[in-house]
Amino acid sequence: MSDTPENTLTEAPATTVKLVITRGGTVGKEFIVEPAGETLIGRWDPDGGAFPEIDLTGDDPEAKISRKHARIFIQDGDYYVEDLGSLNGTYVNRGPRLLPGSPHPLKNEDEVVMGKTFFKLLVG
Query: Starting from the edge strand earliest in sequence, which strands make up the sheet with 17-23, in order?
Result: 30-32, 17-23, 117-123, 111-114, 90-92
Instruction: Please state whether the predicted TM-score (pTM) of the whole model is above 0.75.
Output: yes
Query: Starting from the edge strand earliest in sequence, which strands make up the sheet with 38-42, in order?
Result: 54-55, 38-42, 68-75, 78-83, 104-106
In a domain, 4, yes or no: no
In a domain, 51, yes or no: yes
Structural domain count of the chain: 1
**pLDDT tens by residue, the chain, 124 residues:** 545 444 444 444 568 999 999 999 899 999 999 888 899 999 999 888 889 999 999 998 889 999 999 999 999 989 999 999 999 999 999 999 999 999 999 999 999 999 999 999 999 8
Domain that holds residue 65: 17-123
Looking at residue 111, which CATH number applies to its domain? 2.60.200.20
In a domain, 53, yes or no: yes
List the beta bridge partners of residue 18.
32, 122
In a domain, 7, yes or no: no
In a domain, 81, yes or no: yes
Break the chain down into helix, strand, coil percent, rounded to 5: 0, 40, 55
Report pLDDT digits (tens) over 37-70: 899 999 999 888 889 999 999 998 889 999 999 9
